[in-house]
């Protein structure tokens, strides 16, 4: 789904709101998340997930075409971690939650 589709769905679910107002609301939310992350803050939306910034240190990389070594500067990248509620909802199988891969409750 792209942003315009999100705006259309929200506007369809809320016929009392103008589509331009829904678009302004969606843009305001995304701008606040982006602004907080650019200041190094973490944004947590309970049940949905958390947005944070991870810092990757400078390193020496390799040009795959020539094999030459190149320096890669440090950079900050956005990171999203899903919330428990979203994970559970995404992992439902036939109305039942999928077992965690790390849990082994079998009696061997």
Kindly give the pairing relationship between strand 92-93 and strand 96-97: antiparallel
Q: 21 φ, ψ to 5°?
A: -70, -40
Contact of 15 with 23, CB cutoff 8 Å: no
Residues 6+ apart with CB under 8 A from 1: 9
Over residues 29-62, the pLDDT tens digits come to 999 999 999 999 999 999 999 999 999 999 999 9
Residues 8-21: what's their mean pLDDT?
Answer: 95
Over residues 87-98, the pLDDT tens digits come to 999 998 556 555
With cut-offs at 50, 70 and 90, classify the pLDDT of residue 108: very low
pTM for the whole thing? 0.70
């Amino acid at each position: 789904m792209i942003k315009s589709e999100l705006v259309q769905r929200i506007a369809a679910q809320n016929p009392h709101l103008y589509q331009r107002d829904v678009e302004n609301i969606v843009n305001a939310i995304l701008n606040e998340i982006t602004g907080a992350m650019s200041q190094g803050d973490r944004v947590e939306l309970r049940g949905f997930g958390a947005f944070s910034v991870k810092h990757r240190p400078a390193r020496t990389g390799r040009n795959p075409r020539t094999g030459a070594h190149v320096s890669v500067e440090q950079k900050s990248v956005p990171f999203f971690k899903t919330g428990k509620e979203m994970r559970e909802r995404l992992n439902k199988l036939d109305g039942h939650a999928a077992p965690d891969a790390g849990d082994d409750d079998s009696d061997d």
